[in-house]
A and B are shown apart, each in its own frame.
Chain A
């Protein structure tokens, strides 16, 4: 096995010289992270992780990166400069996805196999709370003011609303089948939840936790069953959402005021999650089945390039380097 040594060497060399911003991509079936240089649009480092890495997020100051190593039953804390695992956090079993609270201290973690959301204090490295939620929790979000955390459960088909002060549920709202991702937008007044099998995004009014709108997708010549919204992210000022549509191999551009789809962009196979660069002029989508990342130009809404990464790329996170 010569490859890992070579990779580590390259990583060490490039790690000290890299200047451009980066996109970090977790490869679920390779147990690695592929680091994409945003200038050259090439993979410049491959870093080993625990087993089945999925969710990935940086601390607010980007000094550490958190990785859900699902099959290692751990959230790993990594030094992004060296790629070294600093320590593991107690995460509960099978952590799939998480979100960092605005306090930069508490991680809200979805434990997919256990129907639990675990709250971990990253400083004391202890579990602060475990909250019973629905089956297969996945989508995680925290409101900008930090008062509300959301877990969506894939088999129970709900968004669970958590009061972050008491760590108790205060509402449970049904959505369409297999909710995968949640985001607060418009200063925390709206919550968006994607439903993979239902094929919709439900928009909630946060103040009342009631459904405000439902977004449908319709791509020519693709059966609605294959149009499966998963990850999504918002452009500057939350004017538009880019929505990954899974096995339809398209990303939708949704007008966040009218809730209408303006455009569909063809990307790689089974598009899953995504991340923007610094000024949100470029979007990077993880395409699980084709094992690549598509770079989309946000202004022209055109796919620019695909970048080969590891097997089954899952999550993506932006890392500024200056």
Chain B
């Protein structure tokens, strides 16, 4: 059987517009963005299709930002984009990109990201994970050459739990889908609830195959009746399949959170404070749609590279990695405080907005959650919790 391999390549180039007064030597920075196309599983509703250019547009905006800054310093940036078709070989695309540059931004499931980081010749490259939230990539499966700009499930779960603690929503029930990603997200939520001392009640698996557009009103009340009493219902539905049919149909009148209702995200169109309105409007002008989580993660990866190049005047992976993991590095990420990388697992520290579709509800870390290093380390794997040894020097 003939395997079709679609690899789309686009090259964005910038002209060197040297400006008077800049003294830095010329530096050119080549970045490769590689996205694994993953077909979305069928969902009950088709109301909100996933944008085909998800992630990519964030990388493009980050590139534009870098080019504008670079032209005052004699620094130029290029972005090469590879989209790997669903049945094509992601590692092959990564190897091909590595032949051209040592700065790679990856948007792919955890298994492919991990495999890419393990490839020969990768140890002296710098890779960014801008798509996979799996906790294991920040723990036992971490790689010294891999930094993460997308928040882990542990960070977004902790953000929700902080909110529940602050609101005294102490008792939690959970409905999870039966796909592996749903189970992983649900497990992380459960672990996080225990970490924050919340009472975790019943957990049920959503295993219906009825068409919920017709039946939600009948099915969900009965399904949630068995939970007894609780303060908030968590829904773990990574593919956005059934979660939307849970709100307002629970047996008891309770708020819904997780994949529906109150959600904890890396980014959302409702984030406007801290100058975010500017980033939103620049993204909208470029992409013609709101900025989403993976757009933000790709943007942050490009900007982290840009910031490190601006400050060091270097373009090689080693110098940039050392600078990013040092105390000197800070990224202005439109979230109200400087973003930095955790030196023990390469995760970008960042506040987590808690949102519903129409407004920002709160931003974690919430007031009162303290940490000896930075309050941002109350979200996700703290140093003692992380099983990552690759970063130990």
Contact = CB atoms under 8 A, between A and B. Distances in A.
* Physical interaction between A and B: yes
A178 B275 CA distance: 10
Contacts of B330: 177, 197-198
Contacts of A134: 68-69, 72
A136 B68 CA distance: 11
Contact residues on A (Cβ < 8 Å of other chain), bracket: 20 to 34
A235 B285 CA distance: 42
B291 to A, nearest CB: 15
B8 interface: no
Contacts of B331: 177
Interface string A177-209: 110000000000000000011110000000001
B24 to A, nearest CB: 10
Interface in B1-53: 19-22
B338 interface: yes
A10 interface: no
A213 B278 CA distance: 30
Contacts of B65: 135, 155-156
Contact of B69 (A156, A161, A178, A197): A156
A177 B310 contact: no
Contacts of A308: none
A109 B22 CA distance: 23
Given A197-B337, A247-B336, A155 B21 contact: no
A134 B374 CA distance: 30
Contacts of A172: 19, 21-22, 72-73
Contact of B310 (A136, A169, A174, A209): A174
Contacts of A154: 275, 278, 332
B278 A223 contact: no
Contact of A226 (B19, B275, B337): B337
Interface in B50-71: 65, 68-69
Which of A155, A174, A198 has the most chain B CB atoms closer than 10 A to its own CB? A155
19 contacts: A113-B278, A113-B281, A154-B278, A156-B72, A157-B69, A157-B332, A168-B20, A170-B21, A171-B21, A172-B22, A172-B73, A174-B311, A177-B330, A177-B331, A177-B332, A197-B332, A225-B374, A225-B375, A247-B336
Interface in A37-96: 94
Contacts of A271: none
A112 interface: yes
Interface in A124-182: 134-136, 154-158, 160-161, 168-172, 174, 177-178
A209 B275 CA distance: 28
A161 B338 contact: no
A264 to B, nearest CB: 19
A35 interface: no
Interface in B63-88: 65, 68-69, 72-73
A317 to B, nearest CB: 22
A157 B38 CA distance: 37
Which of A156, A161, A199, A209 has the most chain B CB atoms closer than 10 A to its own CB? A156
B338 A225 contact: yes
Contacts of B376: 225
B97 to A, nearest CB: 27
Interface of B: 19-22, 65, 68-69, 72-73, 275, 278, 281-282, 285, 307, 310-311, 330-332, 336-338, 374-376
A155 B332 contact: yes
A172 B69 CA distance: 10
Nearest to A138: B275
B280 to A, nearest CB: 11
B68 A161 contact: no
Nearest to A199: B338
Contacts of A226: 337
Interface string A204-246: 0000010000000000000101101000000000000000000
List the 8 closest A-B pairs by CB distance, nearest first: A171-B21, A225-B337, A172-B72, A156-B69, A177-B332, A197-B332, A178-B332, A197-B338
A115 interface: yes
Nearest to B340: A225
B21 A209 contact: yes
A161 B20 CA distance: 10
A158 B337 contact: no
Given A155-B65, A156-B69, A169 B336 contact: no
A157 B331 CA distance: 11
Given A174-B310, A177-B332, A135 B68 contact: yes
B21 A161 contact: yes
A199 B330 CA distance: 11
A178 B331 CA distance: 9
Contacts of A170: 20-21
A161 B21 CA distance: 9
Nearest to A197: B332
Nearest to B370: A223
A171 B338 CA distance: 26
Nearest to B275: A154
Given A172-B22, A174-B310, 7 more contacts: A157-B310, A158-B72, A171-B20, A171-B21, A172-B21, A223-B375, A226-B337
A112 B20 CA distance: 22
B26 to A, nearest CB: 15
B338 A177 contact: yes
A14 B331 CA distance: 48
A207 B330 CA distance: 29
A155 B330 CA distance: 12
Contacts of B275: 136, 154, 178
Contacts of B374: 223, 225
Contacts of A169: 19-21, 72
Contacts of A228: 337
Which of B307, B337, B374 has the most chain A CB atoms closer than 10 A to its own CB? B337
